[in-house]
Amino acid sequence: MPALTQGKFELPRNVRGRSIHNNVIPTVSNLKNMIDKLIMAEGDLNQLKQWEKRSYTAYQISKIKLELMNAPTKEARVKLIKQHILNGEPTDFGASCMDIYLVAYVAENIKPGKQAFIEYVMKSNITDKLNSAQAIWQVGKGDGTYLGVLNEDGTVRDWDFLRDWVNGPKTGKSIVYNKLVRDRIPEIIRESGKTLTIRQLTNEEYIKELKNKAEEELNEFKNSTTRGEAGEELADLLEVMYSLAEIHGYSFSEIEEIRKQKELDRGGFKDKIYLINVEE
């Protein structure tokens, strides 16, 4: 692992256990356009195209969606995304994110520019398809320049960011969450030897954060791709529902009775009926 020194350093071919030659072929989607579309859609993922959703997943945006939506400027959004990448493990992120590093690696260690990059990708057997090689360049260079990490020729603009990405979080680094967490999380963090800062929310704050948590868990369920992931996210969402019922003075059995009555009056969703229009 490179030492923490000022200025340029040699970029390794492995980023904290993540090979830069594997799983780096993206769906062509521009990070900037995806973020702009998400904000314009007020966070509604259903309005994103399939390739935009893949970029959303590749960058694990669900974990910072609320903060991203509330960021006042493009500069604030970029800062948030870069810190999010540094806080996570490289293995957590998809092709689009890692393509930034791959472009930097080739530009700094081999030669800058698109042609040199495509030659490297194909000679290294990352892909034998020209279109795929061009897609890696397009996404990596495009997202890298949007985040201010790369220059137009793929060379590194922000060496401090690359150094932190390669070396991982520094000892004593404070990660800001500002979110509602499960009751045993502080205990689990302390048992790991880390220190933390917490406070107890007022009832008004608690209701607001529960609603935010419900949106977060619902979005994570929407992005689940396996039965196991879906089960985990549904369980998280149900836990939030229990807490919302309690804070509004309901037992869950009372909520269940309301649900049953609505099912008797209006039916459930088992018949998969999709209403198109009603003529007056």
Q: Inform me whether the pLDDT recorded for 273 exceeds 80.
A: yes
Domain extent, residue 251, equals 177-280
Residues 6+ apart with CB under 8 A from 116: 106, 107, 110
Based on the domain organization, do 159 and 182 belong to the same domain? Answer: no
Beta bridge partners of 19: 14
Query: Per-residue confidence at 3, pLDDT binned at 50, 70, 90?
Result: very low
More confident: 197 or 255 = 255
Q: Inform me whether the pLDDT recorded for 175 exceeds 80.
A: no
pLDDT of the residue at 59? 95
Tell me the pTM.
0.60
Instruction: Calculate helix-pair angle for 130-146, 114-123, nearest 10 degrees.
Output: 130
Based on the domain organization, do 199 and 109 belong to the same domain? Answer: no
pLDDT of the residue at 167? 85
Based on the domain organization, do 237 and 219 belong to the same domain? Answer: yes
Q: Inform me whether the pLDDT recorded for 264 exceeds 90.
A: yes
Domain-located, residue 104: yes
pLDDT tens digits for range 78-92: 999 999 999 888 988
pLDDT of the residue at 237? 93
Q: Inform me whether the pLDDT recorded for 4 exceeds 50.
A: no
DSSP 226: S
Query: Per-residue confidence at 173, pLDDT binned at 50, 70, 90?
Result: low
pLDDT of the residue at 277? 83
pLDDT of the residue at 5? 36
Domain-located, residue 84: yes
Buried b (16+ CB within 10 A) or exposed e, 29-66: bbbbebbebbeeeeeebeebeeebbbbbbbbbbbbbbb
Based on the domain organization, do 58 and 190 belong to the same domain? Answer: no
- DSSP string covering 75-125: HHHHHHHHHHHHHS-GGGS-HHHHHHHHHHHHHHHT--SHHHHHHHHHHTT
pLDDT tens digits for range 186-219: 888 877 777 778 888 899 999 999 999 999 999 8
Based on the domain organization, do 75 and 188 belong to the same domain? Answer: no
Query: Per-residue confidence at 36, pLDDT binned at 50, 70, 90?
Result: very high
pLDDT of the residue at 6? 45
Cα separation of 46 and 43, whole Å? 9
Instruction: Calculate helix-pair angle for 95-109, 159-167, nearest 10 degrees.
Output: 110
Domain end position, chosen among 127, 148, 167: 167
Domain-located, residue 242: yes
pLDDT of the residue at 128? 92
Domain-located, residue 31: yes
Residues 6+ apart with CB under 8 A from 115: none
Domain with residue 188: its CATH number is 1.10.287
Q: Inform me whether the pLDDT recorded for 44 exceeds 80.
A: yes
Query: Per-residue confidence at 117, pLDDT binned at 50, 70, 90?
Result: very high
Domain-located, residue 2: no
For the segment 26-30, the average pLDDT, to the nearest whole number, is 86
Q: Inform me whether the pLDDT recorded for 1 exceeds 70.
A: no
Domain-located, residue 134: yes
For the segment 164-189, the average pLDDT, to the nearest whole number, is 81
Using DSSP, state whether 150 is helix, strand or coil: strand
Cα separation of 223 and 200, whole Å? 30
What's the structural domain count of the chain? 2
Share of the chain above pLDDT 90, in %: 64
Q: Inform me whether the pLDDT recorded for 10 exceeds 80.
A: yes
Domain-located, residue 235: yes
Cα separation of 54 and 93, whole Å? 11
